[in-house]
């Protein structure tokens, strides 16, 4: 079993800490006992707050509605909004000009003009706390800035790498680490790199070769972004002391100026066909002396940090992908409008219009979710964002896949021709998707915490002890009941969105009943049933996205934003499609035969893997 | 000093936002403890808004509303709420808000707060500002073809305005806009020195902003032999409060354009299904430029609408549409000051008589 797979399992099965906020507060790093006490205290506070106020997705899954979540978060002062818009406009235009000057594909790294733009606009200081020389912008501001730099995904991932390291230092680093490195990251004196993946041949957690033995680090790390240029390394290594039986894993901070007699070599550069400026390298660490002071955190927090790296902060990925897709849409629409086919523009072709509409809809949903989450975090309205992060990640996947299809449908053969920007976009999207966690992992991260919360909050009883048959005879099952309105969500929104609000409520009602059935029929086995998990994750995602889209369209129409009527149309269209999909899924969950058949679909994959390919005989084969 | 004199005494060249606000400040500083006379002042100030060119400035309206005293005008009992409390003052406030609405100035929350602090929550004047705050933002972008943020409160020059107007009018999203200058030839090419040529260019070069799409270029290529192109204008279009004159390059209506109201199409008649369902109808249909009366092949805004500049525009288009050199072009421009020139003799005679 690979290390990644182990980590994914651990992510999916354990409860991810609820407080996932990246705010200005810098807490002193607590030792183990203090941190545990703090966690216990937080859990006590948390348990007093109703679930629908702690987490939007969990509340919707439990058929509980909190009307504050229907208000789309915004800047309270117009000046704040204008300030960030001006800043973003400047970054966008300067970065656009810098990207045109020199191709990063040929350079193989971020060009000097792009770096100059990032440094001139203080991008690296935007996520560093103020007391360490940064600006510590709020989530909405950061989302806007990431959208501007996301027009090129290599640039975004380089900046995001530094942001990730900053967050780890803020939450897990000691005061000395923070005071030493955070100002340097803000001023770009420090270029961090995160070294998590061990050599590909030794992927199991237990057989990590990168280890600290008698205070010396040796090993190899692969897939290190910006490894070649980095001077601060965050390394995950095995820590085996002679007096301990079981090896521990810890995260270490390694400054390149404090290597002593050891060295860090760039063994190899991973030549990706897209995102060439990302500089993904294989690093070898030899004889580097590490002391306890270089430990970023204790061994207990190792998995937490790994979870942070793999699956948190997805709103910034979402924002960057929004920026990328918006730029792509400008290019595609310009091409479609300028190309003449017969007596019309290519843009009048129905296929092209449909492809662009699909991409536009996906972008609308992703953008709504990203800024919704960012705003709620800024206003401290939600506490848990683990499920929401995975929802954003799934939407990012979906939007980027749709982008590939739209490019191919619209541009055609030119999309693969060198010299045109489209083939670079395809390569970049392909590489970006391969760097992300697979969608299946995010699906589990959505489904399993939802089920856990649902069972805890509804006080679900073991089906073996429930008098189900009698109950069903007397009350009927909830499938046969028409979804009744309980929360009257439509009263809180504009009348144009009344249908969509009703659909959301109906989905919430049906899902609550469907979860009962799935727990009754599958029990704990459901965590191994891919179709069940997919169904649950899809409905949770649809609910959350519907909420975000309705809130956004409501706000836009009420305050009279430009093209607000189009937003209403898009929100209504999305809600209708999502509602129909959720309705079908709930029907499938109720239909046990269909669900179990769907769950056995992976057997087909297993058969092909065992056979080494497609194992069905050709249609013309004879048996005698 | 009489109220009107405060505004009238400022010479025209000094009439601006600063002096207008100074007049308001003078009134406010000279107020007595009873705070009388503000209705007369405000009614007078409203008359001078346009003359001071502050009729579109939100800050000015806020300054005017701040002249009202805060507190004494708020109704305190039911009878005052039922009957219009301080009707003269409320009407004056409504006149100010009407002026704001007429000049398309959208109030913000601060305006609402000011009016509520003056008159209370549900009075005649407050209802007016509530309605304004509800409807005006909703109707702000009712013109889908123009993003008014590009125009309002901006000092746009004629070239920028021309581009915005052409973009607003061009319904083909593939339209490209180009900027050119019409350079007149020196009278005597051989004798003109380089400096003289440059000086003449500076004095007489006329700008042209042209709009043409790839589809229009294709239509020009497909025009039959012997076709005639027409340059008509100037027609005018309003970009918010700015008037922009433009000219149109057109050809005769494309043959085969059917009047859809004349032809009967029975959508549910499947008798000819093999023919009707499989036609490549998109390519047969006329495009947006092929109108019933004419085929529109380009738009432009000229600095000065005269024959020479129109000819320069035709030359500019010919660079990208070589087919135009084979076609006849008829320029039918009504020159600027055409009417004045037409009656020049009569006007001169009238002036001489007066003298």
**Whole domain around residue A242: which residue ranges?**
192-308
**Contacts of A345 by beta carbon, 8 Å cutoff, 6+ apart:** A336, A337, A338, A339, B172, B173, B174, B214, B215, B287
- Residue A157 structure tokens: 């991932």
- Residue of A609 and B274 predicted with greater confidence: A609
Residues B202 and B196: their CA atoms lie apart, in Å, by 10
Contact yes or no for A282/A258 (Cβ under 8 A): no
Of residues B213, B280, B282, nearest to A348 (C-beta):
B282
The predicted structure's pLDDT at residue A207: 63
Residues B126 and B129: their CA atoms lie apart, in Å, by 5
CATH code for the domain of A402: 1.20.140.10
Residue A262 burial by Cβ neighbours in a 10 Å radius (0-12, 13-18, 19+)? middle
- Residue B338 structure tokens: 């055409």
Average pLDDT over residues A35-57: 74
Of A308, A325, A353, which marks where a domain is finished?
Answer: A308
Same domain for A241 and A290, yes or no, is yes
Same domain for A288 and A209, yes or no, is yes
Same domain for A297 and A322, yes or no, is no
The predicted structure's pLDDT at residue A12: 40
- Residue of A595 and B259 predicted with greater confidence: A595
Same domain for A296 and A331, yes or no, is no
Q: Search chain A and give the residue with CA nearest B136.
A: A560
Same domain for A197 and A270, yes or no, is yes
How do B206-212 and B176-182 pair as beta strands? antiparallel
B184 has a chain A CB within 8 A of its CB: no
Same domain for A229 and A334, yes or no, is no
Contact yes or no for A70/A547 (Cβ under 8 A): yes
- Considering the domain boundaries, does residue A94 fall inside one? no
Average pLDDT over residues A544-548: 95
Over the stretch A279-302, which tens digit does the pLDDT of each residue have? Answer: 888 888 888 888 777 887 776 777
The predicted structure's pLDDT at residue B127: 94
Of A308, A330, A359, which marks where a domain is finished?
Answer: A308
- Considering the domain boundaries, does residue A325 fall inside one? yes
Least confident of A150-154, A284-288, A481-485: A481-485
The predicted structure's pLDDT at residue A471: 59
Over the stretch A90-131, which tens digit does the pLDDT of each residue have? Answer: 999 999 999 988 777 777 788 899 999 999 999 999 999 988
Same domain for A370 and A326, yes or no, is yes
Residues A231 and A264: their CA atoms lie apart, in Å, by 10
Contact yes or no for B67/B40 (Cβ under 8 A): no
Over the stretch B143-162, which tens digit does the pLDDT of each residue have? Answer: 889 998 999 888 899 999 99
* Region of B256 on the Ramachandran plot (φ > 0 left; ψ -120 to 50 alpha; else beta): left
This prediction's pTM: 0.87
Of residues A340, A559, A560, nearest to B214 (C-beta):
A340
Same domain for A258 and A339, yes or no, is no
Mean of the per-residue pLDDT values for chain B? 86
Same domain for A344 and A412, yes or no, is yes
What sign does the CA torsion over A192, A24, A48, A501 have? negative
Contact yes or no for A375/A73 (Cβ under 8 A): yes
**Residue carrying structure tokens 């007596």:** A343
Q: Do A349 and B282 touch (CB under 8 A)?
A: yes
Average pLDDT over residues A257-266: 83
Same domain for A322 and A356, yes or no, is yes
- Considering the domain boundaries, does residue A267 fall inside one? yes
Buried b (16+ CB within 10 A) or exposed e, A277-307: bbbbbbbbbeebebeeebbbbeeebbbbbbb
Same domain for A318 and A304, yes or no, is no
Q: Do A340 and B286 touch (CB under 8 A)?
A: no
**Long-range contact list for A382-385, CB < 8 A, 24+ apart?**
A382/A53, A382/A54, A382/A55, A382/A56, A383/A18, A383/A19, A383/A21, A383/A46, A383/A49, A383/A54, A383/A55, A384/A18, A384/A19, A384/A20, A384/A54, A384/A55, A384/A58, A385/A20, A385/A21, A385/A55, A385/A312
Same domain for A385 and A285, yes or no, is no
| Number of domains within chain A | 2
The predicted structure's pLDDT at residue B239: 93
- Considering the domain boundaries, does residue A621 fall inside one? no
The predicted structure's pLDDT at residue A2: 46
| Confidence check: pLDDT of A9 > 50 | no
Over the stretch A382-429, which tens digit does the pLDDT of each residue have? Answer: 777 889 999 999 999 999 999 999 999 999 888 888 877 888 899 999
- Considering the domain boundaries, does residue A359 fall inside one? yes
Q: Chain B: give the shortest CA distance to residue A513, in Å.
A: 41
- Considering the domain boundaries, does residue A270 fall inside one? yes
Residue among A420, A394, A408, A416 nearest A57 (CA): A394
Mean of the per-residue pLDDT values for chain A? 84
CATH code for the domain of A256: 2.40.110.10
- Considering the domain boundaries, does residue A381 fall inside one? yes
Residue among B261, B253, B325 nearest B292 (CA): B253
What sign does the CA torsion over A423, A428, A431, A433 have? negative
Q: Chain A: give the shortest CA distance to residue B88, in Å.
A: 32
Residues B222 and B327: their CA atoms lie apart, in Å, by 12
Task: Output DSSP code: residue A263.
Answer: E
> C-alpha distances in angstroms, A183 versus A54, A248, A335, A454, B143?
33, 31, 45, 43, 49
Contact yes or no for A288/A217 (Cβ under 8 A): yes
Of A274, A308, A342, which marks where a domain is finished?
Answer: A308
Cis upstream peptide for B234 (omega within 30°): yes
- Considering the domain boundaries, does residue A242 fall inside one? yes
Residues B132 and B100: their CA atoms lie apart, in Å, by 10
Which of B282, B288, B321 is the mutation pick for testing A, counting most A CBs within 10 A? B282
> C-alpha distances in angstroms, A482 versus A61, A472, A513, B146?
18, 16, 11, 47
Name the CA dihedral angle for A502, A505, A506, A507, rounded to a multiple of 10 degrees: 120
Q: Do A338 and B218 touch (CB under 8 A)?
A: no
Contact yes or no for A359/A401 (Cβ under 8 A): no
> Percent of chain A beyond pLDDT 90?
40
């Amino acid at each position: 079993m690979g290390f990644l797979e182990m980590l994914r399992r651990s992510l999916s099965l354990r409860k991810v800490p609820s407080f996932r906020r990246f705010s200005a507060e810098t807490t002193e790093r607590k030792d183990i006992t203090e941190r545990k006490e703090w966690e216990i205290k937080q859990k006590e506070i948390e348990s007093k707050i109703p679930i629908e106020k702690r987490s939007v997705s969990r509340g919707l899954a439990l058929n509980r509605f909190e009307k504050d979540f229907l208000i789309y978060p915004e800047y309270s002062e117009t000046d704040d909004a204008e300030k960030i818009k001006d800043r973003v406009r400047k970054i966008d235009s300067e970065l656009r000009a810098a990207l045109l000057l020199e191709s990063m594909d040929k350079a193989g790294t971020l060009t000097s003009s792009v770096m100059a733009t990032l440094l001139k606009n203080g991008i690296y200081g935007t996520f560093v706390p103020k007391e360490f020389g940064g600006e510590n912008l709020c989530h909405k501001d950061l989302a806007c800035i990431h959208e501007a730099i996301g027009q090129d995904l290599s640039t975004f991932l380089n900046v995001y790498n530094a942001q990730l390291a900053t967050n780890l230092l803020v939450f897990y680093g000691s005061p000395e680490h923070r005071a030493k490195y955070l100002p340097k990251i803000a001023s770009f004196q420090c270029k961090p790199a995160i070294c998590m993946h061990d050599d590909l041949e030794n992927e199991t957690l237990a057989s990590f070769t990168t280890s600290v033995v008698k205070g010396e680090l040796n090993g190899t790390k692969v897939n290190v972004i910006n490894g070649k240029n980095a001077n601060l390394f965050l390394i995950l290594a095995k820590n085996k002391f002679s007096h301990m039986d079981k090896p521990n894993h810890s995260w270490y901070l390694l400054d390149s100026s404090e290597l002593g007699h050891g060295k860090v070599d760039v063994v190899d550069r991973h030549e990706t066909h897209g995102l060439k400026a990302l500089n993904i390298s294989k690093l070898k660490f030899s004889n580097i002396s590490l002391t306890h002071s270089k430990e970023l955190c204790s061994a207990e927090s190792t998995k937490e940090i790994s979870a942070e790296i793999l699956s948190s902060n997805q709103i910034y990925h979402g924002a960057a992908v929004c920026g990328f897709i918006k730029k792509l849409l400008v290019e595609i629409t310009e091409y479609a409008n300028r190309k003449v086919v017969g007596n019309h523009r290519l843009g009048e072709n129905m296929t092209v219009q449909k492809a662009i509409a699909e991409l536009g809809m996906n972008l609308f949903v992703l953008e709504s979710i990203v800024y919704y989450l960012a705003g709620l975090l800024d206003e401290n309205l939600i506490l848990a964002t683990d499920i929401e992060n995975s929802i954003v990640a799934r939407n990012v996947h979906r939007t980027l896949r749709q982008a590939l299809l739209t490019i191919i449908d619209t541009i055609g053969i030119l999309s693969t021709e060198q010299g045109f920007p489209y083939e670079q976009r395809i390569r970049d999207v392909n590489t970006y998707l391969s760097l992300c966690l697979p969608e299946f992992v995010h699906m589990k991260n959505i489904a399993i915490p939802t089920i856990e919360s649902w069972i805890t909050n509804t006080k679900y009883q073991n089906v073996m002890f429930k008098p189900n048959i009698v109950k069903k005879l007397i009350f009927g099952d909830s499938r046969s009941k028409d979804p009744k309105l309980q929360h009257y969500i439509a009263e809180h929104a504009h009348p144009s969105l009344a249908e969509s609000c009703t659909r959301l409520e109906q989905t919430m009602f049906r899902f609550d009943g469907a979860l009962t059935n799935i727990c009754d029929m599958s029990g704990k086995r459901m965590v191994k049933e891919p179709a069940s998990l997919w169904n649950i994750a899809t409905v949770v995602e649809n609910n959350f996205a519907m909420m975000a889209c309705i809130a956004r369209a409501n706000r836009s129409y009420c305050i009279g934003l430009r093209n607000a009527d189009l937003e209403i149309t898009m929100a209504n269209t999305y809600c209708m499609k999502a509602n129909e999909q959720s309705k079908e899924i709930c029907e499938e969950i109720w239909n046990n035969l269909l669900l179990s058949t769907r769950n056995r679909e992976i057997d087909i994959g297993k058969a092909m893997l065992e056979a080494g390919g497609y194992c069905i005989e050709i249609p013309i084969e004879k048996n005698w | 000093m009489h109220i009107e004199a405060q505004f009238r005494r400022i010479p025209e060249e000094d009439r601006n936002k600063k002096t207008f606000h100074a007049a308001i400040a003078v009134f406010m500083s000279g107020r007595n403890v009873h705070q009388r006379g503000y209705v007369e002042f405000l009614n007078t100030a409203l008359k001078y808004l346009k003359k001071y060119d502050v009729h579109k400035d939100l800050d000015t309206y806020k300054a005017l509303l701040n002249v009202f005293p805060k507190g004494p005008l708020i109704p305190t009992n039911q009878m005052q709420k039922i009957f219009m409390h301080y009707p003269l003052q409320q009407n004056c406030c409504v006149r100010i808000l009407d002026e704001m609405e007429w000049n398309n100035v959208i109030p913000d929350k601060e305006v609402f707060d000011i009016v509520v602090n003056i008159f209370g929550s549900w009075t005649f004047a407050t209802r007016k500002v509530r309605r304004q705050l509800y409807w005006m933002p909703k109707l702000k972008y009712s013109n889908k073809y123009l993003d008014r943020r590009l125009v309002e409160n901006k000092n746009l020059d004629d070239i920028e305005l021309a581009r915005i107007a052409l973009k607003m009018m061009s319904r083909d999203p593939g339209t490209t806009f180009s900027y050119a200058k019409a350079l007149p030839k020196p009278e005597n090419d051989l004798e003109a020195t380089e400096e003289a040529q440059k000086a003449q260019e500076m004095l007489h070069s006329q700008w042209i902003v042209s709009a043409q799409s790839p589809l229009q270029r294709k239509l020009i290529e497909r025009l039959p032999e012997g076709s005639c192109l027409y340059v008509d204008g100037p027609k005018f279009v309003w970009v918010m409060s700015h008037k922009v004159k433009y000219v149109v390059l057109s050809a005769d209506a494309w043959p085969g354009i059917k009047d859809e109201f004349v032809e009967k199409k029975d959508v549910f008649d499947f008798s000819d299904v093999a023919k009707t369902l499989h036609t490549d109808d998109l390519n047969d249909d006329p495009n947006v430029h092929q109108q019933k009366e004419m085929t529109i092949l380009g738009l432009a805004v000229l600095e000065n609408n005269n024959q020479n500049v129109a000819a320069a525009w035709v030359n500019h288009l010919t660079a990208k549409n070589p087919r135009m050199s084979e076609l006849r072009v008829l320029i039918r421009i009504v020159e600027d000051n055409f009417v004045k020139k037409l009656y020049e003799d009569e006007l001169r005679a009238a002036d001489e008589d007066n003298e």
